[in-house]
Each structure stands twice: as C-alpha cells, then as structure tokens.
Amino acid sequence: MSEVESIVLPKIKKVENKDDMTPRELFTKNHKDLMKEGEIWMKDTTTSCTVVAALILTIMFAAAFTVPGGNNDTGLPIFFNKKLFSLFIITDSLSLFSSASSVLMFLGILTSRYAEEDFLKSLPTKMIIGLSTLFFSIATMMISFSACLLLVLGEESWMVIPVISLASIPVTLFVLMQFPLLVDMYISTYGPGIFDRKMEQWL
C-alpha cells in the first residue's frame, strides 16, 4: 500500500468508492486475514527463538561462574594467565550479551500491538535484530565451548579436533534454516520496492 501511495497524487488517497471507503480503508479490509496470519506466524517464530535465546543466556551466565579448571587458593581461576582462558571469557560474555539482546528484541515483538503500520518497519526490524543477535550468540557460544575444551583436555588430545568440528554443526544448521529468512526480511524491509524509486508520480 505504501508503494502505491508514494507514486499517486495526495488527493487521490482521499477519494471514496461507492461504499464510502478510501483506498487505505479498502486495503485494510481486504488484507485483514493476511495481517492476522502474519501476526500468528511472527508470534510462533518469535516464541521458538525466545526459548533458544533464553536457554543460551542461562547457560552462558552459569558458565561465567564455573570457569574451566576451577580456582586456586587465592580465588583466581587456575588458567587465568592463559590466552585460551581470555578467549573463553570474551566469547562467553559476547554470547551472554547478544542472547540477552535477542531475548529483548523477541519480547518486543511479542508485546507489540500488531497494528498495520508495525508490519512495515517496526516488527521486521526487531525480527532482523533478534535473529542476527541469536545467530551471533550461538556462534560465540560454540567458540567459548571449544576454548574451554582446549583448556581442560589440552591441545594435544585426540578428542579436541573431532569435538570442535562437531561444534560447528549447530551454527551451520541455524544458518541453513534461518539465514534465508533473515535475507528475505532485510530485502523486503530495506531493499527497493516493487516499483522503481525513480518513477514520477502518476498524473
């Protein structure tokens, strides 16, 4: 509807048909079911993603206080001076903060009023941010896990390479399932419209 409004004269927007309805009112009436279906789909998708993000948030919060190797007599982590421990702490924190951001974005979607204009920018933007931060939190969680594994088992252990390789599977699966949706939503929200933007207004 916004695409059409951008190329017609302002006075045409107020013209009523034989049922005393403006183009905007007619559009809203004819697409009421489509908007309801979009609301249901967005709520279902958001609910599922919120569960995943909340689970990651809980795990990474707990991991920050149960550091690999434990603590020494002074209370400092045993691997405090190792570079892998720094990588573990950094990626754990990044995963924690990004999953928290993801949860907040998804909660913003769930508590939205789902008005017609919200589907144009507000809801897609929140979904894009939520999915992006969720993807980042999963990736950093796997890096944190790999760093922890290297610290505990040692870099020479035969188990390290196979397990780290398996750690990339969840990230890959999430990309394959959700990345096309993320791209489509970005293009439909911020990409060029169905009409050429350089087109002049209709006379």
Give pLDDT tens digits for 161-183. 787 788 778 778 877 887 888 88
Burial of 87 (0-12, 13-18, 19+ CB in 10 A): middle
pLDDT band, very low/low/confident/very high, at 156 (cuts 50, 70, 90):
low
Tell me: do 85 and 156 sit in the same domain.
Answer: yes
Structure tokens at 16: 């009523």
Name the pLDDT band for 203 (thresholds 50, 70, 90). Answer: very low
Residue 158 has pLDDT above 50, yes or no: yes
User: Do 19 and 90 lie in a common domain?
Assistant: no
Confidence of residue 121 (pLDDT cuts 50, 70, 90): confident
pLDDT tens per residue, range 81-119: 788 888 888 999 999 999 999 999 999 999 888 877 777
Give the span between the Cα atoms of 127 and 107, in whole angstroms. Answer: 10
* Confidence band for 65, pLDDT divided at 50, 70 and 90: confident
107 & 147 share domain = yes
Do 147 and 102 lie in a common domain? Answer: yes
Domain match, 183 and 149 both:
yes
Question: 77 φ, ψ to 5°?
Answer: -60, 145
- Asked if pLDDT for residue 2 goes beyond 60, the answer is no
The strand pairing partners of 53, in sequence order, are none
Shared domain check, 40 and 138: yes
Of the ranges 15-19, 60-64, 65-69, 95-99, which is most confident?
A: 95-99
From CA 76, how far away is CA 85, in angstroms rounded? 12
Same domain, 39 and 26: no
Q: Taking residues 65-71, report their average pLDDT.
A: 73
Neighbour tally for 38: CB within 10 Å: 14
pTM: 0.75
15 and 83, same domain (yes or no): no
In a domain, 5, yes or no: yes
Q: Is the dihedral of CA 94, 185, 178, 100 positive or negative?
A: positive
Tell me the residue type at 108.
Answer: G
Q: Number of structural domains, the chain?
A: 2
For residue 184, pLDDT over 90 is answered with no
SS3 62: helix
Q: Report phi then psi at 29, rounded to 5.
A: -65, -45
- In sequence order, the 6+-apart residues with CB closer than 8 A to the CB of 189 are 120, 121, 124, 125, 128
Average of pLDDT values for 123-141?
Answer: 91
Higher-confidence residue: 175 or 18? 175
| 203 located within any domain | no
pLDDT of 5 > 60? The answer is no
Note whether residue 201 is domain-resident: no
Q: Are residues 158 and 99 in the same domain?
A: yes
CA distances 19 to 10, 28, 132, Å, are 20, 14, 45
